[in-house]
Structure 1
Amino acid sequence: MGQFVDFSGLWIPLVTPFQGEGVDVSALSRLVDHLARSPITGFVPCGSTGEAESLSHEEQLAVLDTVLASCRDKPVVMGLAGVRLQDLLRQMNEIVRRPVAGLLISPPQYLRPAQAGIVAHFRALADASPVPVVVYDIPARTGAMLSLETLLTLAEHPNIRALKDCGGDEEKTRALIADGRLAVLAGDDARIFNTACLGGAGAIAAAGHLLPGHFARLVSSARAGRLEEARQLHHMLTPLAHALFAEPNPSVFKAVLARQGWMSDTLRLPHSPASVEAVQRTWAALERAERVRLP
């Protein structure tokens, strides 16, 4: 069930550029082509950084098609989020007609189901998917907590292969890495070093938009045991990661990327633009991090 995908390395959860009322596919194409030239593993469009819940299904497919056309054959894991199972299965059927490497799926938001319901939900989606499933554990957004026992149960499914770990529980992270069945990917950008040193597979890190080579090197050096190099990168990049997430994601990202000329600083309500102070702090952290010379 599902093809083999090596989830190790650095994946970029893409922002979605807007122009007026629509998706700016030209800006997205340029950004993806630029990032694809760096040593990242692949892309994750239509996650929380991509404002997926603010996009129509047609817009989500347009984003996916743009990324696939511009990714230089790097793998693409598509975000799939929602509440109603039948709607998700219908969306999945359209997505997997395209050459996606996997699906990033979070538990249903707002409903706060029991753990047994979450397990049944993921199993139904994984059973139906011809590509591997990456579980997205992000209780701060969904309101659904995935217990260690639930994640270990999901790991039994042959088509559930990886975890984007935004759960904020270091012991749960350690236990899942020790178990070894799921490729554990740091979803909190400031925890890349910790996760990789514990034996995690890598990261799905939005901060990689700005310094993809540095963040990819952080992952590879930590996983390879080059700890002095990894520590140096971690200490220089963590202030940037904190600054980028000081206000609701992706407001600061879009402001900084707009300042670099990649897109307009446009978000959809209920998101609002980042404050001037947050952008200034992030820009200063970026300039400091850029001074790190990679071996």
Structure 2
Amino acid sequence: MQTLAESHAAAGPAGTTTPFGGIWVPLVTPFREGAVDHEGLKRLVRHLDHQGLAGLVVCGSTGEAAALDEAEQRAVLDTVMSVRGDLKVIVGVSGVTPGGVARRLRELAGLPLAGVLVPSPYYVKPSQAGLIDFFNTVADASPVPVVLYDIPGRTGVRIDTDTMLTLARHPRIQAVKDCAGDPDHTQAVIDDGRLQLLCGDDARIFTSLCQGAVGAIAASAHLHPAAFARLHRQLQAGDLLAARPAWRALWPLTRALFAEPNPGPVKAALALRLGLSNELRAPMTAASPGLTARLASLLEVLDAGERRA
């Protein structure tokens, strides 16, 4: 039986045989007085560069994409692309009809994107056969690799294991952001080997990486991104002795960042850390004063730990 280190070594280092390997940050969208704060967005991207991250996810759920119109989403993407440095970029594209999503994907042709993150159609709750048709149609139109976004808590429908493995036959469907919350499903997709699995549930980053996930799309990694990137490297190398205490140090902040609806707590923490405006679009609301104070204390504890290390 292979050891953890041996199994990761066989797969190759993240970013080589696994193009989506590593820690990705699903960017918040900064606002100021109701409008997108593009200067704040640039400052955030520059802060995240050179931290060991794989890349950024733009206009995902953490980015409040549902509250942005198409022109705003494209402007956010253009801003990120202009200052991304060495970071790869995935952009979220969502919609209810396959034709509508396909149209938006065709408009991205020519951009140097690592991929597109596409969730199931929301609200309509299609059958599994409907999901297969939807994602195959979308993948046919996409100019870049497709990352399936399986988040039934937001869309109302889960991509079943058999459906996901059927979709893996499409050459452009190459990865999945896994928010299904089912360890058996996670392991089945990892064991199949055709889709690169990215953990999308911050609370399960450690577990999923140990199961064989190639990385994570983690809102928590807005804060102390280098520590999350280091944790990924440790687990890819099979160094559990280093990874366990590293995860224990990150866990209190990770848990607190989801104590209230995302991205409220993350934006509160970024206001403390980078001076970004602590502003969300309705119906989303800012983190409570009590949680904000707790986040400030947790950030101080992590800062102190990083200095000692």
Q: TM-score range by the shorter chain?
A: over 0.9
Cα deviation, 1:179-204, whole Å, max 9, x if unaligned, reads 11111111111211111111110101
Aligned with 1:206 (options 195, 219, 237): 219
**Residues 1:215 and 2:224 are matched in the alignment:** no
User: In the aligned structure 2, how far is the partner of 1:254 from the partner of 1:125?
Assistant: 32
User: In the aligned structure 2, how far is the partner of 1:109 from the partner of 1:155?
Assistant: 21
Aligned with 1:87 (options 80, 100, 110): 100
- Equivalent positions of 1:126-275 (< 5 A) are 126-275=139-288
Structure 1, 41-50 or 20-29: larger mean CA deviation: 20-29
**Residues 1:60 and 2:73 are matched in the alignment:** yes
TM-score (norm: length of structure 1): 0.95
| Structure 1 counterpart of 2:86 | 73
Residue 96 (structure 1) shift? 2.9
User: In the aligned structure 2, how far is the partner of 1:77 from the partner of 1:38?
Assistant: 18
Residue 5 (structure 1) shift? 6.9
8 Å CA contact 2:105–2:143 kept in 1: the answer is no
| Structure 2 counterpart of 1:286 | 299
Q: Secondary structure at the match of 2:188?
A: helix
Structure 1, 91-100 or 74-83: larger mean CA deviation: 91-100
- Equivalent positions of 1:108-119 (< 5 A) are 108-119=121-132
Residue 288 (structure 1) shift? 2.3
8 Å CA contact 2:272–2:296 kept in 1: the answer is no
User: In the aligned structure 2, how far is the partner of 1:286 from the partner of 1:144?
Assistant: 36
8 Å CA contact 1:5–1:132 kept in 2: the answer is no
Cα deviation, 1:89-144, whole Å, max 9, x if unaligned, reads 22112223322111000000111110110111000011111210000111111111
Provide structure 1 residue ranges, at least 5 long, that are not aligned to the other structure: none
Kindly, what percent of the aligned residue pairs are identical? Answer: 48
Residue 156 (structure 1) shift? 1.3
8 Å CA contact 1:61–1:95 kept in 2: the answer is no
Letter paired with 1:199:
G
Letter paired with 2:148:
V
Letter paired with 2:138:
L
User: In the aligned structure 2, how far is the partner of 1:274 from the partner of 1:82?
Assistant: 28
User: In the aligned structure 1, how far is the partner of 2:108 from the partner of 2:299?
Assistant: 35
Q: Secondary structure at the match of 2:88?
A: coil
User: In the aligned structure 1, how far is the partner of 2:110 from the partner of 2:32?
Assistant: 28
| Structure 2 counterpart of 1:121 | 134
| Structure 1 counterpart of 2:13 | none
Number of aligned residues? 292
Residue 74 (structure 1) shift? 1.8
Cα deviation, 1:12-35, whole Å, max 9, x if unaligned, reads 100000111211110001110110
User: In the aligned structure 1, how far is the partner of 2:290 from the partner of 2:224?
Assistant: 21
Letter paired with 2:191:
A
Provide structure 2 residue ranges, at least 5 long, that are not aligned to the other structure: 1-16
Residue 291 (structure 1) shift? 3.2
**Residues 1:12 and 2:25 are matched in the alignment:** yes
TM-score (norm: length of structure 2): 0.91
User: In the aligned structure 1, how far is the partner of 2:274 from the partner of 2:145?
Assistant: 35
Cα deviation, 1:195-225, whole Å, max 9, x if unaligned, reads 1111110101011101100011111111210
Cα deviation, 1:151-201, whole Å, max 9, x if unaligned, reads 111111111111111110011111111111111111111211111111110
8 Å CA contact 2:94–2:121 kept in 1: the answer is yes
Letter paired with 2:225:
P
